[in-house]
Amino acid sequence: MLIRPYRDDDWPEIARIHDAARLDELRDSVGVAAFLTLAQTAEGEGLFDGRVWVAEDAGTVTGFVAHDDDEVTWLYVDPARYRQGVGRALLRHAIAACGADRIEVTVLAGNPAALALYRAEGFEITETRTGPLVGNEAFTATGHIMHRTTR
């Protein structure tokens, strides 16, 4: 598996991956009625405000991660590649690329797979908040703010 910087021609694949995986993320948290496509949310939620990386296997994009200096802001894996190490590899890459002493991520309550991944990589819940769902504020969500100390 190769992790490389996002290229403009990756858009169709990361949009497909996001849209499929986001439904899974919402199903047991906020509900699928809150679903918006990547095309509808990428700009407003700042997908490209930081750095974006993609995982590629045999020429096929299998997931993507975005981060700024101290926060992992997006992490989605193709549902066909769940539990194959793609998310873990992307997360580890983002942590190393952030370079901060303390990294933050927010996980929706009701997403046990993501919560387990972040916990396994040393993140701990430091706060839980309920409020408008970022990107689709008509819905209420509960999110766990998690931190990992890297040094």
What domains can be seen in the chain, in order of their start residue? 2-149 (3.40.630.30)
Per-residue pLDDT reduced to its tens digit, 83-128: 999 999 999 999 999 988 999 999 999 999 999 999 999 999 999 9
CB neighbour class for 57 (10 Å; exposed up to 12, middle 13-18, buried from 19): middle
Question: At residue 13, does pLDDT exceed 90?
Answer: yes
pTM of this structure: 0.95
Q: What's the CA gap between 71 and 38, in Å, rounded?
A: 19
Mean pLDDT (whole number) for 38-56:
95
